[in-house]
Amino acid sequence: MKITVASGKGGTGKTTIAVNLALSVKNSMLIDCDVEGPNSHLFFREPMVKIKDVSIPAPKFDLDTCTLCGKCAEFCQYNAISIIGEKLLFFEELCHGCGGCKIICPVDAITEVDHNVGLIEKGGTEDLPVYHGLLNISEPFGVPIINELKQFADASKITIFDSPPGTACPAVETMRDVDFCILVTEPTPFGLHDLTLTVDVIRQIGTPFGVVVNRDGIGDDRVDQYCEKEGIPLLAKIPNDMEVAKLYSRGVPMVTGLPKYRKLFEEMFQKIREMV
Amino acid sequence: MKIAITAKGKEMDSDIDPRFGRCGYFVIVDPDTMEFEAMVNESAMASGGAGPQAAQAITKASAKVLITGNVGPNAHQALEAAGIEIITGSNGKVIDMVEKYKKGELSITPAPTVGSHAGMR
């Protein structure tokens, strides 16, 4: 089973939920897809070791063969190619590496070269492997690394994906092709606002989902009201507990430092299992 | 010879749109006859690469001069490749800038005036 932990707002506790859920269910693995700032590994003692480089195909133009017909520029959905004033301009930072220009070129003037965008590291234990990706500094698109990361999901295990925040491409990529999505929010106006954005997106994707309220007690009950009105299952509420925060600051997951919380995550998983 | 001016509307008395790649309209003016036509900027809502796209659009409209507020690095590179003269720092109405251009009161901008994605903010 594949479960993604996502949220619209950053800092609501995606990693907290992902790490503690992975530790509370048997036969699990954790894949941190926040390739711009992965931090799930901080809760595990084992070092992360590089296992793979990630590249995207970047076009290389043979300007002697190119007829400046403009078909590649017209095709490119990301406007990475311009034919202008008898010149071909390629804006590498706009290229998503889809390879379409090479296919569309009628005179075979385009070849592809590997453009390294980041890497994948593995850590954790035999029982609970942890993977994450690292996007190179200055690279704008994390999705190719997330795609590669998703390939490491072991079908015989419960795979927990820790999603990047927001509702843009990297988050969408992490929320699709999974069995269930946990949306983590906090009971504040910001939390609720960004939750509603994420709900709009996930309904489009079609992944079944439920909500976890983290730091319950700091705000009001508008998230509860919203979930009830929208018919969204509330999976769990995690109290705003100073002891949890103290453990967190030392890199100790709450279910390890305060075993009473294990039950909460076991019940959360039971609810998910009943829904998929 | 035609001039492209980035505008918020379709008329000669429309306000200048200070953005290039993401402006609302281009007013294309022949300064000799003062004949003009307006075109919608199709790249205003592009997810990326709006500047080079806009440069292609005004090139197709046979503009040789661009009057706008700011130009980013990709747009500047594309406009330079197209041999289009760039005049930035403009404000007020389209017609006022055309008059100033005709009197030779405007000077060419040699470098990008803003960073990437400035028009999205």
The domains of chain A, with CATH numbers, are: 2-44+135-275 (3.40.50.300), 56-116 (3.30.70.20)
In this predicted structure, what is the pLDDT of residue B113?
85
In this predicted structure, what is the pLDDT of residue A85?
78
Q: Would an 8 Å CB–CB cutoff place B54 in contact with chain A?
A: no
Q: For residue A14, give how far its alpha carbon lies from the nearest alpha carbon of chain B (Å).
A: 27
In this predicted structure, what is the pLDDT of residue A41?
96
Residue B115, SS3 per DSSP? coil
In this predicted structure, what is the pLDDT of residue A138?
85
Residue B75 contacts residue B20 (beta carbons within 8 Å):
yes
- Looking at the domain covering B2-114, what would its CATH class be? alpha beta
In this predicted structure, what is the pLDDT of residue B118?
80
Residue B34 contacts residue B57 (beta carbons within 8 Å):
no
Q: Would an 8 Å CB–CB cutoff place A74 in contact with chain B?
A: no
pLDDT per 10-residue tile (average), chain A, 276 residues: 95 96 97 96 96 95 96 94 91 90 97 95 96 93 95 97 95 97 96 96 97 96 96 97 95 96 97 95
Strand ranges in A165-233 using DSSP code E only, listed in sequence order: 180-185, 209-216
Q: With contacts defined as CB-CB under 8 Å, which chain B residues touch A83?
A: 56
Q: With contacts defined as CB-CB under 8 Å, which chain A residues touch B48?
A: 78-80, 94
Size of interface A-B (CB pairs under 8 A): 44
**pLDDT at position B121 over 80:** no
In this predicted structure, what is the pLDDT of residue B12?
95
Q: pLDDT tens-digit profile of B22-54?
A: 999 999 999 999 999 999 999 999 888 999 999
Q: pLDDT tens-digit profile of B61-86?
A: 999 999 999 999 999 999 999 999 99
Q: Would an 8 Å CB–CB cutoff place A94 in contact with chain B?
A: yes
In this predicted structure, what is the pLDDT of residue B50?
94
Q: With contacts defined as CB-CB under 8 Å, which chain B residues touch A91?
A: 49, 52, 74
In this predicted structure, what is the pLDDT of residue A83?
92
**pLDDT at position B117 over 90:** no
Judge: A91–B52 Cβ closer than 8 Å, yes or no: yes
Q: With contacts defined as CB-CB under 8 Å, which chain A residues touch B50?
A: 79
Q: For residue B73, give how far its alpha carbon lies from the nearest alpha carbon of chain A (Å).
A: 11
Among A117, A119, A114, A132, which residue's Cα sits nearest to residue A46?
Answer: A132
ipTM of model: 0.80
Q: Checking phi first, is residue A201 left (phi over 0); if not, alpha (psi -120 to 50) or beta?
A: alpha
In this predicted structure, what is the pLDDT of residue B13?
96
Judge: A79–B55 Cβ closer than 8 Å, yes or no: no
Q: 0.90 cut: is pTM over it?
A: no
Q: For residue A93, give how far its alpha carbon lies from the nearest alpha carbon of chain B (Å).
A: 10
Q: For residue B108, give how far its alpha carbon lies from the nearest alpha carbon of chain A (Å).
A: 19
The residue of chain A with its CA nearest to that of B117 is: A94
Judge: A94–B48 Cβ closer than 8 Å, yes or no: yes
List, as ranges, residues 29-48 from B with C-beta within 8 Å of A.
43, 46-48
H or E stretch including A59?
strand A49-61
- The closest CB to that of B59, out of A78, A80, A84, belongs to A84
Give start and end residues of each alpha helix (H) in A6-137. Answer: 14-24, 71-75, 100-104
- The closest CB to that of A80, out of B49, B77, B83, belongs to B49
In this predicted structure, what is the pLDDT of residue A56?
93
Q: With contacts defined as CB-CB under 8 Å, which chain A residues touch B74?
A: 91, 94
Residue A29 contacts residue A158 (beta carbons within 8 Å):
yes
In this predicted structure, what is the pLDDT of residue A86?
86
- The closest CB to that of A79, out of B53, B59, B81, belongs to B53
Q: For residue B23, give how far its alpha carbon lies from the nearest alpha carbon of chain A (Å).
A: 17
Long-range contacts of A172-175 (CB under 8 A, 24+ apart): A172/A201, A172/A205, A173/A33, A173/A143, A173/A146, A173/A147, A174/A4, A174/A6, A174/A33, A174/A146, A174/A150, A175/A4, A175/A6, A175/A201, A175/A202, A175/A205, A175/A207
Q: Would an 8 Å CB–CB cutoff place A89 in contact with chain B?
A: yes
